[in-house]
Amino acid sequence: MTVYVLLGTALLLALLSPWIGRRVRRHRAEQDRRAAAEHYRKRLLAATDHAITTAVRAQLAEPVTDLRITRPMRVTVGDVVARARDDFALEVPRDQAAELLRHRLEFRGHARWPDLITDAFDDEEDPTP
């Protein structure tokens, strides 16, 4: 009796193995795609934060000669693209870099600074007259 159970189980596995194999390969490919997308997003986020931090530190490093004059903080989409390329070897489209720069400036509270100079918000303006 146990021989028939073992043979039946072996036969069932032999018949289902191609289907199971395809399913497993498809699942692994989807996991790899998700992991690659998450890795890309994290690297781009780090590059954006590094560019903002560099701009803040450059602003704070300026000598204060007159208390009524505030030095502007300059961070551009080009800074984010260059940082991603140099630090993480990522080729980032400018629109993605601008979108993430806007998000991170708002998240970190820099978007409301009156002395912020950036081109991240330029493409949001309505081009119609």
CA torsion angle 48 51 55 58 (round to 10): 150
Tokens of 23: 């399913």
- Taking the whole predicted model, whether its pTM rises above 0.85 is answered as no
| Phi, psi (deg, nearest 5) at residue 69 | -105, 125
In a domain, 71, yes or no: yes
Domain that holds residue 83: 39-124
Residue of 127 and 79 predicted with greater confidence = 79
Overall domain count for the chain: 1
Q: Using one digit for the tens of pLDDT, what is the confidence trace for 22-57?
A: 887 888 999 999 999 999 999 999 999 999 999 989
Smallest CA-to-CA distance from 76 within 51, 43, 106, 59 is with: 51
- Does residue 69 lie within any of the structural domains? yes
pLDDT at site 68: 81
DSSP 111: T
Helical pair 2-61 and 94-108, crossing angle rounded to 10 deg: 70
Residue 15 located in a structural domain: no
Q: How far is CA 107 from CA 35, 52, 79, 100, in A?
A: 24, 12, 18, 10
Q: Is residue 99 domain-resident?
A: yes
Q: What is the pLDDT of residues 63-120, one digit of tens each?
A: 888 878 778 888 999 999 999 999 999 999 999 999 999 999 989 888 777 778 888 7
